[in-house]
A and B are shown apart, each in its own frame.
Chain A
Amino acid sequence: MSSSSRNYNLTHLKVLEAESIHIIREVAAEFERPVMLYSIGKDSAVMLRLAQRAFYPGRLPFPLLHVDTTWKFREMIEFRDRFCREQGVDLKVWTNPEGKAQNINPFDHGSKKHTDIMKTAALKQALNHYQFDAAFGGARRDEEKSRAKERVYSFRDRLHQWDPKNQRPELWNLYNSKVNKGESIRAFPLSNWTELDVWQYIHLENIPIVPLYFADVRPVVERDGTLIMVDDQRMPLRPGEEPMMKRVRFRTLGCYPLTGAIESEATTLPEIIEEMLLARNSERQGRMIDHDESGSMEQKKREGYF
């Protein structure tokens, strides 16, 4: 054995990476039908890479699931299809059929109803349809206050609901995978990552991300103080609104009518990171669904939203 003259220190990113891989392998080993929720965003990109690391040289032992509200940015969908094909992963896409039939959309029905039907309800339908008993999500505890108390394994009852007062204690790296039929867990391998960690990792690992994260000239309108990109013809313009071409980018990605852009010159990862370091607002501010009411994220989580 070579002796211990070398130093056995790991950087914080390597420690986080190892922890995440451990969680992903644990779920894959202990659940019958796991699935990885894939939102096409940067956190999903990191989570997917970690999963590929976990099972290398084997393939992912579970599919990816994208809940498509039909209102995602076009570039997200293009990226999703190309990337998943290249990576050879099994991608399942689910859209709420009733919602689609009724043409539920954020303009006519408001962000809350749209999110309830096209995201939360759709997710539950998909989980029930495929009978998944564990679903990986890319949520991080630093994102939002109610997330700070979320477990790595978050238990959900038959209705996919989360009860913040009845969470299982979670100690060491010993996760409790016991569920009855119909119940499930949501597993969050990125729990201990921060936004900066995610960006640094993407940078270090050269992980492909949707171009919308980089600044480019895009058509936007300013609505209620937020820059909204006019991504397709479905967006009804209000009287007096005229799309302007601005150099913008997105800190988070979701449904385009609900995702605020920021004006930016950042076209490389270091520039994005630099901008993030100097930014004075947290990333979720661009997400309109959080602002409905105080504690709204917590309310959504209780109901089954990720």
Chain B
Amino acid sequence: MSRDRWSKRNAKGISDMQAIDLSHEDIEAYLARHQKKELLRFLTCGSVDDGKSTLIGRLLHDTKTIYEDQLAAVKRDSEKVGTTGAGEIDLALLTDGLKAEREQGITIDVAYRYFSTDRRKFIIADTPGHDQYTRNMATGASTCQLAIILIDARYGVMTQTRRHSYIVSLLGIRHVIVAINKMDLVEYSRDVFERIKDDYTGFVAKLDLHDITFIPMSALKGENVVSKSDTMPWYSGPPLLDYLETVHIAGDRNLTDLRFPVQYVIRPDLNFRGFAGTIESGVLHKGDEVMLLPSGKRSTVKSIVTYDGELEEAFAPQAVTVTLTEEVDLSRGDMLVHPGNQPHVSSDIEAMVVWMTEQPLVPGRPYTLKQTTKQVTAEVVSFRYGVDVNTIEHRPIARLGLNEVGHVRLSLTQPLACDPYRTNAATGAFILIDRLTNNTVGAGMIVETGSSRGPGDVWEAEPEVSLKPRESLIATSEREQRYDQLPVTILLIGLTGSGKSRIAYELERRLWDEGRAVMVLYGQTMRQGLNRDLGFSADDRSENLRRSAEVAKLLNDAGLITIAAFVAPHEGVRGKVKQLIGPDRVLEIFCTAPMEVLRERDQYGMYQMADEGKIAQMPGVSAVFEEPKSPDLVLQTDQVNVDECVNRIVALMKSRGFMRDR
């Protein structure tokens, strides 16, 4: 049966090799048609077990990109090492490259494949699905516009699916096809397909992926790959190849922001001085006023020169040579932009970095950073957080190891003209090169630059727009009357293991049972939602607390008692919290115990991880905890049990007039 299907598709003829009539008119018409094709680069993610190699082999085979001698070689190999049945071609072998890999039965690097149809030329970046090869996937993804994420229909969304999707999102790929493969092994079940689709949609909501298409298929049998399969009548969408041929990619390019990094200065004689480069984004016209970065000087485009003659305008990604009306000092590494549309120019950048070598990335070590045509020296100042690529969760880190991803703050020896990667991949991307080994060790995507606001300033910053707050029609006194309490924030502070959270929740229970309106704000909970973009650096801890204080204030404004449990190691930041909420509405309670007790109680092993350097800037270990100067209450939690702590807090609240006895 499968053999019949193949021949049916072959006869359909959709490729370079399609049956064309052997007359001259045909070949000329064919060439004219094929000279107008668009180029689409896509990535395939999945493991051999998902049928990825088979899918690629299928695309190449069914578009007749495989020559007979290559096919014959694969047929020979199929008998020796193939995993398909006797006499069948193992299409996966078409994409295996190096000898050693073939012997191991795995693909270990990024391999590029080419095929074309009447509409488009395609470049496939084939990347492996194994754990240790995050770096290869990032490499493959960096040049792609679309990604195909393979899921084995029998197993559904797996850890590697999450990992692949995260990297695809991180590298800014705009279009995703989720290929739910091996549908033949689940009886072409619509339920299975829909369940996987729902699972995937649920998980991917956390990522910056928007254009997602789901296609059920069997690469082995060629169903919904090149032509539509009648085994899945419930699927109304196009087969994979139709989608690849028609997905709208023209809008992906940034044609708004002119960025022209100077690559090479062409100076054949004294009369000509041309600045050669690739227009990375935007459109450049003859006569445009341009700004030279980093100098900030201005000039005007005199001509846009190419081998075919001068152009009136040029656009991304054309490679051209520009001459200017004035003699200016401009060389490789500089950039031309429009004066009304400038990138950030900063020597302080924040970026997501994928680390690609055994020797970890650590603060303070200098690396060569290459962005556009510029090279500078860069070093890590601090880590905001690391990302677990399997769960997409953030965690504190002190270094970045092989195949790890982290949010990093970098300091540069010279400023870069750059944009956030999301808005401009060409000026937002960089590589890091080890200065001893000369190896490419990291790939970076700029998130923001130092010229944009830092979290440290936010406490005092004025809102960016003028705001007119409105007064509630419910008076504060009305709320006090209804709840029979004065709103207050109980600020429980102290090191990890000091008992804050236990006390907070016990206190909440006690107050609730007394009929109070009360709620706990717990640091870790805040970090899962509102503050999940924050890490554990001093700045991020400060911002975590600022936002939490804003929430506490709102809750207090609503008349509720708020119990806030935070490490809050800095006296200055705690002072700001009190100012923000209102000093007379905060009770600062310091929970403390000797370090050995804290370590004993530490159920998550945070201290041990900090000792091992797995957590950076851990208060009490690798960062300071400033004891409060004048807390409202100190609870020595190694000496007083939780009940008694709660008693003391309740007594304090009453003595300060926030509640009456009931």
Chain A neighbourhood of B37, CB < 8 A: 11-12
Contact A170 B317 (CB under 8 A): no
Chain B neighbourhood of A19, CB < 8 A: 317
- From B34, B99, B138, B426, A200 is in contact (CB under 8 Å) with B34
- Annotate A1-23 by CB proximity to B: 1 below 8 A, 0 otherwise: 11010011111111111110110
B79 to chain A, nearest CB (A): 13
Is there a chain B Cβ closer than 8 Å to A28's Cβ? Answer: yes
Chain B neighbourhood of A101, CB < 8 A: none
Is there a chain B Cβ closer than 8 Å to A236's Cβ? Answer: no
Is there a chain B Cβ closer than 8 Å to A191's Cβ? Answer: yes
Is there a chain B Cβ closer than 8 Å to A207's Cβ? Answer: no
Chain B neighbourhood of A12, CB < 8 A: 37-39, 116, 120-121
When C-beta atoms are compared, the residue in chain B nearest to A150 turns out to be B112
Contact B368 A282 (CB under 8 A): no
Contact B28 A270 (CB under 8 A): yes
Is there a chain A Cβ closer than 8 Å to B425's Cβ? Answer: yes
When C-beta atoms are compared, the residue in chain B nearest to A270 turns out to be B27
- From B16, B120, B266, A58 is in contact (CB under 8 Å) with B266
Is there a chain B Cβ closer than 8 Å to A26's Cβ? Answer: yes
Q: Given A59-B268, A285-B69, A298-B99, A196 and B116 touching (CB < 8 A)?
A: yes
Contact B114 A141 (CB under 8 A): yes
Is there a chain A Cβ closer than 8 Å to B554's Cβ? Answer: no
Is there a chain B Cβ closer than 8 Å to A264's Cβ? Answer: no
B256 to chain A, nearest CB (A): 9
Chain B neighbourhood of A158, CB < 8 A: none
Contact B70 A54 (CB under 8 A): no
Chain B neighbourhood of A55, CB < 8 A: 264, 266, 276
CA distance A147 to B368 in the complex (A): 29
Is there a chain B Cβ closer than 8 Å to A176's Cβ? Answer: yes
Contact B69 A8 (CB under 8 A): no
Q: Is the interface of B mostly helix, strand, loop or mixed?
A: mixed
Is there a chain A Cβ closer than 8 Å to B466's Cβ? Answer: no
Chain B neighbourhood of A279, CB < 8 A: 67
CA distance A171 to B431 in the complex (A): 8
When C-beta atoms are compared, the residue in chain A nearest to B28 turns out to be A270
CA distance A203 to B27 in the complex (A): 12
Is there a chain A Cβ closer than 8 Å to B300's Cβ? Answer: no
- From B27, B98, B143, B276, A274 is in contact (CB under 8 Å) with B27
B613 to chain A, nearest CB (A): 25
CA distance A203 to B278 in the complex (A): 25
Contact A56 B305 (CB under 8 A): yes
Interface positions, chain A 1-52, Cβ under 8 Å from B, are: 1-2, 4, 7-19, 21-22, 25-26, 28-29, 52
Contact A15 B98 (CB under 8 A): no
Choose, from B188-196, B204-212, B432-440, B526-534, the stretch at the interface: B432-440
Q: Given A176-B433, A279-B67, A149 and B438 touching (CB < 8 A)?
A: no
A244 to chain B, nearest CB (A): 24
- Annotate A173-212 by CB proximity to B: 1 below 8 A, 0 otherwise: 1101011100000000001101011001001100000000
B244 to chain A, nearest CB (A): 14
Is there a chain A Cβ closer than 8 Å to B623's Cβ? Answer: no
When C-beta atoms are compared, the residue in chain B nearest to A271 turns out to be B27
CA distance A281 to B263 in the complex (A): 40
Interface positions, chain B 160-213, Cβ under 8 Å from A, are: none
- From A15, A142, A196, B39 is in contact (CB under 8 Å) with A15
Is there a chain B Cβ closer than 8 Å to A93's Cβ? Answer: no
Is there a chain B Cβ closer than 8 Å to A167's Cβ? Answer: yes
Q: Given A8-B283, A141-B114, A170-B440, A270 and B431 touching (CB < 8 A)?
A: no
Is there a chain A Cβ closer than 8 Å to B640's Cβ? Answer: no
CA distance A12 to B70 in the complex (A): 25
- From A2, A174, A273, A274, B370 is in contact (CB under 8 Å) with A174
CA distance A295 to B103 in the complex (A): 11
Chain A neighbourhood of B50, CB < 8 A: none
- Annotate B12-31 by CB proximity to A: 1 below 8 A, 0 otherwise: 00001100101010111011
- From A9, A52, A149, B250 is in contact (CB under 8 Å) with A9
Chain A neighbourhood of B114, CB < 8 A: 141-142, 192, 194
Is there a chain A Cβ closer than 8 Å to B255's Cβ? Answer: yes
CA distance A172 to B278 in the complex (A): 13
A18 to chain B, nearest CB (A): 4
Chain B neighbourhood of A281, CB < 8 A: 67-69
Q: Given A178-B368, A192-B123, A169 and B97 touching (CB < 8 A)?
A: no
- From B123, B139, B277, B321, A169 is in contact (CB under 8 Å) with B139
Contact B17 A174 (CB under 8 A): no
Q: Given A54-B276, A141-B114, A149 and B35 touching (CB < 8 A)?
A: no
Contact A22 B27 (CB under 8 A): no
Interface positions, chain B 77-127, Cβ under 8 Å from A, are: 96-100, 102, 108-114, 116, 120-121, 123
Contact B67 A280 (CB under 8 A): yes
CA distance A1 to B285 in the complex (A): 7
CA distance A194 to B113 in the complex (A): 10
Is there a chain A Cβ closer than 8 Å to B135's Cβ? Answer: yes
Contact B67 A11 (CB under 8 A): no
CA distance A201 to B471 in the complex (A): 71
A77 to chain B, nearest CB (A): 27
Contact B97 A145 (CB under 8 A): yes
B184 to chain A, nearest CB (A): 28
Contact A149 B97 (CB under 8 A): yes
Chain B neighbourhood of A15, CB < 8 A: 39, 317
Is there a chain A Cβ closer than 8 Å to B315's Cβ? Answer: yes
Is there a chain B Cβ closer than 8 Å to A148's Cβ? Answer: yes
Contact B433 A164 (CB under 8 A): no
Chain A neighbourhood of B123, CB < 8 A: 192
Chain B neighbourhood of A7, CB < 8 A: 250
Interchain Cβ contacts under 8 Å between A and B, 5 examples? A10-B318, A52-B307, A58-B268, A173-B426, A174-B371
Binding site for A on B (CB under 8 A): 16-17, 20, 22, 24, 26-28, 30-31, 34-39, 67-70, 96-100, 102, 108-114, 116, 120-121, 123, 135-136, 138-139, 142-143, 250, 253, 255, 263-264, 266-268, 272, 274, 276-278, 283, 285, 288, 305-307, 313, 315-319, 321, 332, 356, 368, 370-371, 373, 425-426, 429-431, 433, 438-440, 443
The 4 A-B pairs with the shortest beta carbon distances in the complex, nearest first, are A295-B99, A178-B438, A12-B39, A21-B319
Other than the known A270-B31, A280-B69, what 19 A-B pairs have Cβ atoms closer than 8 Å?
A1-B288, A8-B315, A10-B317, A10-B318, A11-B37, A18-B278, A54-B276, A56-B266, A57-B272, A141-B114, A149-B112, A165-B100, A170-B139, A174-B370, A192-B123, A194-B121, A196-B16, A203-B31, A281-B67
